[in-house]
Structure 1
Amino acid sequence: MHFPSREQIAVLQRQYPRGTKVELLGMDDPQAPPTGTMGEVMGVDDAGQILVRWETGSSLSLIPGVDSFRIAEKGGQS
């Protein structure tokens, strides 16, 4: 598994600050929320995954470059 550098993590944290609203467009995971589900970014972990609390109650993370999603509303700076 490839882990991003500290600099890459910092970029992701700036792109997806805590509170950012995201919409799921597609995820290849049997536990994935339905397409179109909205979620709120809780943070970015050391592996570069975006931690999301989905409106369905799930907390499945997004993987940039693998999962398909869009920013619906930018959050504040953490």
Structure 2
Amino acid sequence: MNGNTNFKAGDRVRLISMTDDPDPIPAGTTGIVVGVYPQRDWLQLDVDWDNGRSLMLSIPPDRVERIDSAPKPQQGE
């Protein structure tokens, strides 16, 4: 599972790819993990996305990365 079992509720994540959803979250979207449900050989993450959607991920095939919880300042600020 590529070390993806160490996600926990409250983690900030950025979507890398979501290939099997008919209405996918756009790559690069960030959100917060609200639930983690380990399965036998995959992981289900319940994410509240910053764009207002709530959608579960199935890892694999979906891919996310953990990011810093503090927002980074925009260039020029």
| Superposition TM-score, scaled by structure 2 size | 0.68
More strand by share: 2
Which residue matches 1:26? 17
Give 1:17 deviation, angstroms: 1.2
For residues 1-78 of structure 1, the aligned pairs below 5 Å read 12=5, 15-28=6-19, 29-45=21-37, 47=39, 48-73=43-68
Question: 1 CA distance for matches of 2:60 and 2:28?
Answer: 18
Question: 1 CA distance for matches of 2:44 and 2:63?
Answer: 13
| Superposition TM-score, scaled by structure 1 size | 0.67
Unaligned residue ranges in structure 1 (runs of 5+)? 1-10
Matched-pair identity in %: 34
Unaligned residue ranges in structure 2 (runs of 5+)? 70-77
Could you tell me whether the CA contact under 8 Å between 1:16 and 1:43 is conserved in 2?
no
More helix by share: 1
Higher Rg: 2
Give aligned pairs, total.
63
Q: Looking at both structures, which has the greater relative contact order when contacts are Cα pairs under 8 Å and sequence separation is at least 6?
A: 1
RMSD over equivalenced CA pairs, Å = 2.1
